[in-house]
Amino acid sequence: MRLNSEQMRYFGAVVLKESERCLHIALLKSEKNPHKDTLRNLFQSFILEFTEITESKFLIHLQEAEQKETLQNLLEKIQQEIKLDSKEYGLQEGKSSVQELVYFILQRAVLERASDVHLEFDVQNMRIRFRIDGVLVEKFCLESWVFLPMSASIKLLAHLNLTEAKLPQDGRFGLELISNNGLKRGFDFRVSTLPLVQGESIVIRILDKHKTLMPLEALGFGEAELAQIQTLAMLPFGLVLITGPTGSGKSTTMYGILNILKERNLKIITLEDPVEYRLEHINQVAISKEVEFVSVLRNVLRQDPDVISLGEVRDKASLQLAIQAAFTGHLVFATLHTNDALDSIVRLLDMGVEAHFITQSLSGILAQRLLRKLCDCKEKIDAKWIPKGCAKCNYTGYFGRIAIVEVVLSSRDLEHFIKGKISKMQMLEILQSATQNFTLEQKARVLIERGITDECEVYRVVKNALYC
Ligand SMILES: [Zn+2]
């Protein structure tokens, strides 16, 4: 860096670009800035070109420089501490520099709205990547030596075994950090470690109740779909399937529905793997790998529940039990990984469930996706909105996400489809004639037309859509 943060602040100057002979410097109040001559003296071997910069842009550059310096200072301190104490990385004496580095990275992750922090190690480097709005972004690339002390510090926080390097481990911890609105509050973190040929991979999930436990209205569903989902939540019994790939917001929708159900004075039991958020008035069961899903479900049914939320159903025995529960008076929610709503019927049949069982129990299916929204910095070119990129969106062009969902309620036609009397194509035609923009692709197209998202994002998320 040609200017450190202190100098930047003093001169009101940012070095934007540097070539062999020339420095491009952006100045606050370029016309009246009194430091031009000082800067010329400072960089005598260069020709200086001055441009103007706005205060908001200047502050972003300043913040970036300060972050780099903090990181650099921490790394130097850690190196010194390691030299002093080659094994313990200074971790035993209160808050060490390694811990400060971990806090610094988690604080950045929270401020940048990340859902996960990935720490990956290869021979030369350690990469730190954030998942923001569902997409991985590389944030820091550090020298590889820092991985070991960082890994030890994180394991210590999460009460994991420091010496275990051959087996995967998981744990959690809580920290007070500054949230996006500038206020300090508690955050929970779930840590997972995986031994690799090259060393180890550590992923820290940021469990943010404020983000996951949102009312359904805040997810971006259309009014019609919202009404359909609310209808499903008011049913006395039946099976409701929520489908979509990992990261499509299924659990957020599930929690949103449970929130509505909570008001109805019902006994609600959820089976979760693992339980990420503790919820009031809901009985949450943590599924562990050691216990058979189906036997847990049997025990749950003996608890006289009104509503059961199952998460992913993996085997036929559990599925049959869930379906049985649904037509013997329980409202059962289960999630599946399928492309669209109708595919989940095909999946159930493939798993060996008989068609008449499905028709008797199934109340509805939701299929959903999350699309990244174009950031406010978007540009309109030839009547098309395209992503541009600014500091707010990390130069990705996208900021925040919106959910799209297709909802299929049980009907005579659906029964015919389940029994194989009509094809998927015919069923789709029926659904499309009853509801405008029924499919996920059609809903995505509406969002493209309104400039909320773009074709590339739709192509990334709704794979079978023919865009881009
Ligand atoms: Zn932007």
For residue 402, how far is its CA from the centre of ligand 1 (angstroms)? 16
Other CB atoms within a 10 A radius of the CB of residue 424 amount to 13
What is the chain's Cα-based Rg? 27
For residue 446, how far is its CA from the centre of ligand 1 (angstroms)? 21
- The closest of 287, 284, 263 to 274, measured between CA atoms, is 287
Q: Which two tokens stand for residue 103?
A: 């806090």
What topology does CATH give the domain 1-80?
Answer: GMP Synthetase; Chain A, domain 3 (3.30.300)
- C-alpha dist (Å) from residue 253 to 182, 243, 244: 27, 11, 11
On whether the CB atoms of residues 344 and 365 are closer than 8 A, the answer is: yes
Separation CA 447–CA 441 (nearest Å): 10
What are φ and ψ of residue 190, in 5° steps?
-110, 125
For residue 210, how far is its CA from the centre of ligand 1 (angstroms)? 23
For residue 396, how far is its CA from the centre of ligand 1 (angstroms)? 7
For residue 397, how far is its CA from the centre of ligand 1 (angstroms)? 5
For residue 453, how far is its CA from the centre of ligand 1 (angstroms)? 13
For residue 223, how far is its CA from the centre of ligand 1 (angstroms)? 28
For residue 80, how far is its CA from the centre of ligand 1 (angstroms)? 39
DSSP assignments along 2-28, one per residue: -S-HHHHHHHTEEEEEE-SSEEEEEEE
Q: What is the pLDDT of residues 244-287, one digit of tens each?
A: 998 898 988 999 999 888 888 899 999 988 888 888 889 999 88
What are φ and ψ of residue 144, in 5° steps?
-65, -25
DSSP 375: P
Q: Which two tokens stand for residue 364?
A: 């509805």
For residue 395, how far is its CA from the centre of ligand 1 (angstroms)? 6
Separation CA 110–CA 346 (nearest Å): 40
Residue count of the chain, please give it: 468
Separation CA 227–CA 203 (nearest Å): 37
For residue 49, how far is its CA from the centre of ligand 1 (angstroms)? 27
- The closest of 186, 387, 152, 356 to 277, measured between CA atoms, is 186
- DSSP helix, strand, coil percent of the chain (3-state; round to 5): 40, 30, 35
For residue 390, how far is its CA from the centre of ligand 1 (angstroms)? 4
pTM score, whole prediction: 0.82
On whether the CB atoms of residues 293 and 287 are closer than 8 A, the answer is: yes
For residue 375, how far is its CA from the centre of ligand 1 (angstroms)? 4
Separation CA 260–CA 50 (nearest Å): 59
For residue 7, how far is its CA from the centre of ligand 1 (angstroms)? 28
Domain boundaries, the chain: 1-80, 85-209, 213-461
For residue 283, how far is its CA from the centre of ligand 1 (angstroms)? 41
For residue 380, how far is its CA from the centre of ligand 1 (angstroms)? 14
For residue 133, how far is its CA from the centre of ligand 1 (angstroms)? 13
Domain at 85-209: CATH code: 3.30.450.90
On whether the CB atoms of residues 373 and 453 are closer than 8 A, the answer is: yes
For residue 392, how far is its CA from the centre of ligand 1 (angstroms)? 5
Q: 213-461 domain in CATH 3.30.200.20? A: no
Identity of the amino acid at 77: K
- Report the largest interatomic distance among the alpha carbons of the chain, rounded to a whole angstrom: 85
Going residue by residue through the chain, which has 468 residues, state the pLDDT in tens, using 9 for 90 and above. Answer: 689 999 999 999 999 988 888 999 999 987 888 898 899 999 998 999 999 999 888 998 998 899 899 999 998 888 888 777 655 554 555 568 899 999 999 999 999 999 999 999 877 889 999 999 999 999 999 988 899 889 999 999 999 998 887 899 999 999 999 988 889 999 999 999 999 887 889 999 999 877 777 888 888 888 999 999 999 999 999 999 999 998 898 988 999 999 888 888 899 999 988 888 888 889 999 887 777 888 899 999 999 999 999 988 878 888 899 999 998 899 999 999 888 999 999 999 999 999 999 999 999 999 999 999 999 999 999 989 999 988 888 888 999 999 999 999 999 999 999 999 999 999 999 999 999 999 999 999 999 999 999 999 999 888 654 444
For residue 141, how far is its CA from the centre of ligand 1 (angstroms)? 23
Separation CA 13–CA 50 (nearest Å): 9
- C-alpha dist (Å) from residue 433 to 429, 430, 436: 6, 5, 7
Label the pairing between strands 184-196 and 307-312: unpaired
For residue 387, how far is its CA from the centre of ligand 1 (angstroms)? 8
Q: Is the dihedral of CA 181, 185, 214, 460 positive or negative?
A: positive
For residue 305, how far is its CA from the centre of ligand 1 (angstroms)? 47
Separation CA 446–CA 282 (nearest Å): 37
Separation CA 199–CA 177 (nearest Å): 29
Question: Could you list which residues have their CB under 5 Å from ion ligand 1?
Answer: 375, 377, 390, 392-393
